[in-house]
Amino acid sequence: MGERERYEPGTFSWVELTTTDQDAAKAFYSGLFGWQARDMPMGEGAYYSMMQLEGRDVAAIAAQPSQQREAGVPALWNSYVTVASADETAARAGELGANVHAPPFDVTQAGRMAVIADPQGAYVMIWEPREHIGAGLVNAPGALVWNELQSPALDDSAAFYKGLFGWKIEDAPGMNERYLSIKNGEANNGGMRELTPGAPPSWLVYFGTEDIEAGMARAQELGATVLMGPIDIQIAKFAVVQDPQGAVFALYAGQLEP
């Protein structure tokens, strides 16, 4: 079980669901993972739901921004990477060919962030922590365990993220299909794989579960659709699931990082 008090720059540290039905999504994920919501008012009746497990923040659920809804963007999970400076990282992303979709801005006293679309079109958030470090618990059942990029151009994606975060990205040995492993320093920090035909470039969020078959069954009972799996990768089994509002995530049961 990985309790966290801080994150090294370059580490995935937070995930956030933006959804078309916030209350229904809270009920779904609470039923699936045992999360408890701590709703934080954001003005004009809006609130940001900090989802907790064992008293520690593990993720957030928020209403989809109106501009996304109007553009027909589906509900989705956002991945955040901790950085030393949101402003410097956003500027570097632009130099490397990314679209800085939302320039750096303060999130009250919690931190400073920016939204980036990488050169292949996958969105990633950068997070300069202040009062909020990100998840207080990772690598445990019901918590974030992995982040995985689906890219139409793996080598180009690897070059971009190496330049942006200083990640070490290498081909993982013994795989049937090409898979790139990411290290931030000496720590495992996610992976990259070829884009599934018909899917948009994106970062897929994985959550831990005790038993993959039981987790899939419970998700279906709560109204989700299993898109793929279970798939056995020797050290674990995983499945890709779409929640009732359309957001895609993965369940993972097996060997976990510290």
Q: 2-129 has which fold?
A: 2,3-Dihydroxybiphenyl 1,2-Dioxygenase; domain 1 (3.10.180)
Specify the CATH class of 138-254 in words.
alpha beta
Domain coordinates in residue numbering, the chain: 2-129, 138-254
Residue 73 scores a pLDDT above 90: no
As a whole number of angstroms, the distance between CA 158 and CA 136 comes to 28
Q: How confident is the model at residue 47 (pLDDT cuts 50, 70, 90)?
A: confident
Q: What residues pair up with 106 in beta bridges, in sequence order? A: 112
Distance CA 44, CA 109 (A): 19
Same CATH topology for 2-129 and 138-254: the answer is: yes
Report pLDDT digits (tens) over 179-212: 999 999 999 999 999 998 888 999 999 999 999 9
Helix (H, G, I), strand (E, B) or coil at 116: strand
